[in-house]
Amino acid sequence: MAHIKLERPNLGFGLGLRPDHYEAILSDKPLVDWFEILTENYLVPGGKPHYFLEKIRENYPVVMHGVSMSIGSVDPLDKDYLKQVKLLSDKIKPRWISDHLCWTGMLGKNMHDLLPLPYTEEAINHVVDRIRQVQDFLGQQILIENVSSYLTYQQSEIPEWQFIREISERADCFILLDVNNVYVSAINHGFDPLDYISAMPKDRVYQLHLAGHCNMGNYIIDTHDHEIVDPVWKLYVDTLRHCGDVSTMIERDDNIPPLEDLLKELSRARELASSVLDEKIL
C-alpha cells in the first residue's frame, strides 16, 4: 500500500478518556483539545461505554490507543481483534490509531502486559512485516509507542532508540513517543534519555505521552498513578526542542484524581510548549 505523507497534524493538548470523568466532561465541557480512548474499553457490544463515547465524540476529536494488538508476538495477528478495531474506527473516526511496540502473550494466551522485545534484526523484521499487514488491513498508518522496560535481553544487539527508529522507517509507520517511558527505561537501564530523544526521527513522532510513575529506589515502575515528575517535564521540553510541536497528552490510569487536577497538569504542558516555541522565534 502506498502511503501519502501529509504534514504532521497537531491536535494540541489532550487527556486519556477515563470512565471516572465521563459525567464531568459532558457537563463542564473542559478545555481539552482532544481525548485518547483505550480501544479495548469500547470493544464491547453497547451500554454506557458507547453512550458516553458518542456524546464526548460530538465535542472532541479522539484518537484510539490499544493495548493488545501484540504486534511483536510470535502468534499470528489476531484478525478478529483487528476487525473489531476497524469497526470501532469506522464508527468513531479517530484521528489515528496507536498501540505498543511490545508483545502481550503467545500460544493464544494474553498476559495483559506490555512485554519488551529483544532489539534484534529478527525482531525488527518480524514487527515491520506485521505493522505493514495491520496498516494494510486498517487502511491507514498506525502509531507505535515505546514501552517502559525493567530488563535487558542478552540477545539485544542495538539500543532501543535504534530499534524503534528502524522499525518506524522500514514499516513506514509513526511513533507515539512516551516521554515518561523513556525516562523510566533510562533510569532502569542506565542510559542517557537525551540519546534516546535525539535519535527519534522527528517527522514520524505524531504524539507524546506524559505520565507519572513510582520510584522504588533502584528502579522505577511505570504505574501511571502519580503526577508527572520534574525530570520528565524537563525531558518533555527537550523532546519538543528536538521534534517541534507535537500533539501531547497525559495518561492517568490509576489513583485517578478529579478532572481539574489533570487540567492543571495539562496547562503546565501548554506553558512549557509555548515557551519552547518562543525560544524558536527568538
Partner 1 sequence: MSQLFLLQNKFQDYLLSSQYDIFNDIVETTTAPINVRLSIYSEAYRSRLIEALATNYPVIRVYLGHDQFQMLGQQYLEKYPSHFRSIRWFGDCLDAFLKECETYSNFPYLSELAKVEWTMTLVFDASDSHIITIDTLYNIPPESWVDMQIRLHPSIHLMQFKWNVLPLWQAISQNQAVPELEQSESPVSWVFWRNNLINYYCSLADDEARAIGALINGYSFGEVCELLCEEGSEQDIAMRAASLLKGWILSGLISEIKY
For the residues of 173-193, what is the DSSP string, one character each? -EEEEEHHHHHHHHHHHT--H
Q: Write out the H or E segment, with its range, that includes residue 34.
A: strand 34-38
Contacts (CB under 8 A) with partner 1, residues 29-48? 40-41, 43-48
Closer residue to Fe ion in complex, CB, 114/128: 114
* Residue 198 interacting with partner 1 (CB under 8 A): no
> At its nearest, how many Å lie between Fe ion and the CB of residue 244?
20
Which set of grid coordinates corresponds to residue 181? 517511558
262 residue type, one letter: L
SS3 label, residue 149 = coil
Look up residue 152 and give its DSSP letter. -
CB of 38 to Fe ion, least distance (A): 11
In angstroms, give the least distance from the CB of 179 to partner 1. Answer: 21
The one among 152, 162, 198, 215 contacting partner 1 by CB under 8 A: 152
Q: Return the residues of window 87-146 that contact Fe ion according to CB under 5 A.
A: none
Q: Whole-number minimum distance, CB 178 to Fe ion, in Å?
A: 4
Which residue type, as a one-letter code, is found at position 118? P
**Closer residue to partner 1, CB minimum distance, 126 or 204:** 126
Cell of 241: 526542542
User: Which residues, 149 to 208, sit near Fe ion by CB under 5 A?
Assistant: 178
What whole-number distance in Å separates Cα of residue 84 and Cα of residue 191? 39
Least separation in angstroms between residue 107's CB and Fe ion is 26
| Cell numbers at 19, concatenated | 470512565
At 23 the three-state DSSP class reads: helix
| Contact call for residue 222 and Fe ion (CB under 5 A) | no
Q: Is 87 in the site for partner 1 (CB under 8 A)?
A: no
Does the protein bind partner 1 through residue 16 (CB under 8 A)?
no
Residue at 6: amino acid letter: L
Phi and psi at 110, nearest 5°, equal: -125, 120
**Distance in Å from the first CA to the final CA of the chain:** 42
* Binds 1: which of partner 1, Fe ion, none (CB < 5-8 Å by kind): none
Among 34, 103, 174, 236, binds partner 1 (CB under 8 A): 103
Distance, CA of 146 to CA of 259 (rounded, Å): 26
Residues at the site binding Fe ion, with contacts judged by CB under 5 A: 178, 209
Residues at the site binding partner 1, with contacts judged by CB under 8 A: 40-41, 43-51, 68, 73-74, 78, 81, 84, 103, 105-113, 115, 117-118, 120, 122-123, 126, 150-155, 188, 190, 218-219, 221
